Amino acid sequence: MKEVPKLPIIDLSSPDLLSTANSLRQACIEYGFFYVVNHGVEEELTGKVFEESNKFFSLPLEDKMKLFRKEDRGYTPLFWRDTPSLLCSQSDSKEIFYVGPLEDISMVREPQHKWPSQEILPSWRATMESFYKKVFSVGKRLLSLIALALDLNEDYFEKARKLDRPTAFLRLLRYPGRFGDSGEEIYGASAHSDYGMITLLVSNGVRGLQVCRDKSKEARVWEDVVHINGAFIVNIGDMMERWTNCLFRSTLHRVMLSGQERYSVAFFLDPNEDYVVQCIESCCSESSPPRFPPIRSGDYLKEHFKLTFGS
């Protein structure tokens, strides 16, 4: 039997922006998780990203560790405790490579890029840079639709220095196909919601991603996110939930290991570090005042990190 996707599908090729914005609004209020189709990023390029990702993760651990993560760039090995998970009691079974902002966001120093060596992976850097830029522009299109969906000007998120030095980065992920021998329940990614504004995700089609639509209920109900070829899966992060006074929801999700090797790429898009996030006007009223004080985006992200990891 063919599985039917349960999450809403947003079609970016529709010329009717207002109706797309309306569908997006519903999707963000009801689910915080949706598919985006006809986004303009060629499947060929996405395929190339997975190919390059596979080549990198197949290198000997020793070579990968030479690019060990510093800030938002580089490699972290399996079971590295670095998941934005509020609930994980143990580490996740996944390897990660972070491609940080292409341009430096601090403006104080040059970006400290970490790229695999040209001799070993000659097409890596060009592939990742091209994908980064394309997904970034899809992210910006989504944010302009989100602005319309919130009765704001289309350029609300682009203007006022919210996105000229954004904290945008790619996270390449590989979940192993084999389970450990310990008998313990090991997750690919344990239950979490993303910290920031929005996340765009694409996978190689191997199942495993699940969402819990109601995080307030004690008994968690997990639903599989069915793969749609070529679609991005987009989710609202905690910062956007706060910015919209909880009108939009950031949804808990996790990745289960399926016995098959899963590759995915997540693109996290957050505003400039020094942008002050405060309740959007159309999301509060006298009867529904702002629930959170204004906060600098960079401080918010740091605070979240501390809450999760205690440092």
Ligand X SMILES: O=C(O)CCC(=O)C(=O)O
Q: Which residues bind Fe ion (CB under 5 A)?
A: 194
- The tokens describing 115, both together, are 């790229």
CB 22 within 8 A of CB 149: yes
CB 280 within 8 A of CB 150: yes
Q: Which of 92, 194, 238, 270 binds ligand X (CB under 6 A)?
A: 194
Q: Which of 290, 185, 306, 283 is nearest to 236 (CA)?
A: 283
Part in contact with ligand X (CB under 6 A); list of ranges 13-21, 108-116, 122-130, 201-209: 201-209
Nearer to Fe ion, 33 or 75 (CB): 33
Nearer to ligand X, 75 or 150 (CB): 75
What's the rounded Cα separation, in Å, for the pair 271 and 300? 11
CA angle 205, 207, 211 (to 5 degrees): 115
Task: Please report which helix (H) or strand (E) contains residue 308, including its range.
Answer: helix 297-309
CA angle 26, 29, 34 (to 5 degrees): 70
Number of shown-chain residues binding ligand X (CB under 6 A): 11
99 binds ligand X (CB under 6 A): no
236 binds ligand X (CB under 6 A): no
Q: Which of 201, 234, 240, 256 binds ligand X (CB under 6 A)?
A: 201
What's the rounded Cα separation, in Å, for the pair 224 and 253? 10
Nearer to Fe ion, 100 or 116 (CB): 100
**Shortest Å, Cβ 159 to ligand X:** 28
* Residue ranges in 158-187 that form contacts with ligand X under rule CB under 6 A: 171, 173
* Residue ranges in 243-272 that form contacts with ligand X under rule CB under 6 A: 253, 255, 264, 266
Q: Which of 128, 209, 252, 283 binds ligand X (CB under 6 A)?
A: 209
Pairing assessment for the beta strands 169-175 and 187-192 based on DSSP bridges: unpaired
Instruction: Give the bridge partners for 37, in sequence order.
Output: 11
Report the partner that residue 257 touches, choosing among ligand X, Fe ion, none (CB closer than 5 to 8 A by kind). Answer: none
Nearer to Fe ion, 39 or 171 (CB): 171
Stated length of the chain: 311
**Shortest Å, Cβ 156 to ligand X:** 25
Q: Which of 28, 189, 231, 279 binds ligand X (CB under 6 A)?
A: 189
What's the rounded Cα separation, in Å, for the pair 174 and 186? 15
CA angle 160, 165, 169 (to 5 degrees): 130
Report the partner that residue 264 touches, choosing among ligand X, Fe ion, none (CB closer than 5 to 8 A by kind). Answer: ligand X
- Interface residues toward ligand X, by CB under 6 A: 171, 173, 189, 194, 201, 203, 209, 253, 255, 264, 266
